[in-house]
Amino acid sequence: MATTPGAMSLYDLQCRILHLLFEPGPDTTGVAVIPTTGDFPATTLTRDLNIWLGMYIGLTGMAPAMTDVVQTEPIVAGLDFALPANCASLVRVEYTPAGQYPYTLVGKSFDEFDSTTGGIVPPATGQPYYYRQPFGGLIRMQPQPGPGNAGQALATLTLSGTPTAGNQVTATLAYGALNVTTTPYTVLSTDTLASIATALAAAINASSAVSGAQAFLATATVPLDGPTVQLTSLATGTGGNAITAYGTVTGSTLQISPTIATALAGGGVPDEITIYFESLGSILVNPTDMPGIPAQFNMAPAYGCLSDYWLRKGDLAQAKAYEGKFDRLVRLGKQYVFDNDRSTQPTLAGEDVDVNYADGIVG
């Protein structure tokens, strides 16, 4: 498989370090395995390469296009979206509704976001149009994606009628072999339909359907627009439709629906969000992992390690030499700008060219 010249995997970097350190390794012994014992075992090399990779990216000051990453993942329901852990500089955010075309979310500062929302973030859900600048590794979207956008299935338990003290309300929730019935809530004389819905939601959230190790529902909520309990599957896609729910009420004055096992509905393909960002590099764990920086700088973390390792061996001249190699790649990295904007077809019209398609004249 063809690779970019200079591209090196974790294994390649480990081999280079051992070879330049005059230590036994694949390049000198003919054995492909990196040593696991001795002064420079594989675990030590891996740890130190990750340390120096982070230092190199930090010292280059995130030169343009040094660590370009494009990452697409399913959307999750909620107001705030967690950026990738290795995101250092957010460039662009795109949103793709399931089965539709992607569009760009408009980035806004804190003040601009507050101006757009009026300083209050409403509970409206749906496809977002704006996102607030990153803070604490999160961006806030408006409107916020709901469970339907995340491909989660939904159901509603609805209360009606007249509450009577002593009525007992329960919910029964099932997924596969798991069948959960909540602790009954006994209606008080002061209860309203809304307060009963709140108590039923609390009972559902305390049950193993939501809180247990085999939970299959997200936290049940009570919307502001009615005495209902909103149920949301944890699973995305059609898996959530395998969950059933129904309610039971004692007495005749208070009703709940549905009263028979009814499958959650609406689970489907989740929307997607695409993040364009500059990264903090790629953590090196497996032998084939790559540093995540341009190939011509892949030796930088190895040079950093060698400057330390030769100090440990007491050879200051070698340590100084590799420190100089590392510093040189830092300087080159700071100057690095990668421009891959090379159009295969120049534009027909420019500042000094007029195109008249009707007359077929270009001049």
Q: What is the pLDDT along the chain (363 residues), one digit of tens a residue?
A: 447 888 999 999 999 999 999 999 999 988 899 999 999 999 999 999 999 999 999 999 878 778 889 999 999 988 999 999 889 889 999 999 999 999 999 999 999 999 988 888 887 889 999 999 999 999 999 999 998 899 999 999 999 999 999 999 999 999 988 999 999 999 999 999 999 999 999 999 999 999 988 899 999 999 886 799 999 998 877 778 899 999 999 988 999 999 999 999 988 899 999 999 988 888 999 999 999 999 999 999 999 999 999 999 999 999 999 999 999 999 999 999 876 665 555 555 444 544 454 555 444
157 and 249, same domain (yes or no): yes
pLDDT at residue number 244? 95
Domain count within the chain: 3
3 state SS of 118: coil
pLDDT at residue number 355? 47
Residue 251 belongs to a domain: yes
22 and 170, same domain (yes or no): no
Residue 317 belongs to a domain: yes
Residue (of 320, 322, 335, 304) closest to 54 by Cα position = 304
pTM of the model: 0.72
Question: What is the spatial distance between Cα 154 and Cα 257, in angstroms, rounded to a whole number?
Answer: 14
Contact 71, 83 (CB under 8 A): no
15-22 long-range contacts (CB < 8 A, ≥24 apart) are 16/299, 16/302, 17/45, 17/49, 17/302, 17/305, 17/306, 17/309, 18/45, 20/302, 20/306, 20/322, 21/306, 21/309, 21/310, 21/313
pLDDT at residue number 1? 44
127 and 274, same domain (yes or no): yes
91 and 168, same domain (yes or no): no
Residue 97 belongs to a domain: yes
144 and 274, same domain (yes or no): yes
Structural domain of 101: 68-148+270-278
Contact 255, 172 (CB under 8 A): no
Contact 298, 7 (CB under 8 A): yes
Residue 164 belongs to a domain: yes
pLDDT at residue number 137? 92
328 and 226, same domain (yes or no): no
112 and 56, same domain (yes or no): no
Residue 211 belongs to a domain: yes
